[in-house]
Structure 1
């Protein structure tokens, strides 16, 4: 699955290497650490991801 997944790095990432990548699939939003890709990823439903982003944008996280 992962080889066909298009990962993108956050536009807020710096060149220090402390970055996350996000990929969208038909059923989930995947998040992984760019420094430790071999450890896998976290998977969120689209609803969970939207709720997370809303909290971040509101400054609550």
Structure 2
């Protein structure tokens, strides 16, 4: 089943420095989506919560 992000709110990190080179993340139950702020109209990629959690853990 494909998650529906059509009504999800994408948020930019509070650590963004304002130069326009960042990503936004939206959450729906069980999934997260990531998109480029410079190319919002292109769409997003989505990940399961488990995969996104592993990604975030790797960043830390």
Bin of the TM-score, shorter chain as denominator length:
0.7 to 0.9
TM-score scaled to structure 1, two decimals? 0.84
Structure of greater relative contact order (alpha carbons < 8 Å, 6+ residues apart): 2
From 11, 15, 18, the counterpart of 1:12: 15
- Figure out how many residues of one structure are paired with residues of the other and give that number: 57
- Superposition deviation, residue 41 in structure 1: 0.3
TM-score scaled to structure 2, two decimals? 0.85
The runs of 4+ residues in structure 1 deviating greater than 2 Å are: none
**Structure having the larger proportion of residues in helix:** 1
Q: Deviations over 1:3-32 (max 9, x none)?
A: 411111011211110011000012310000
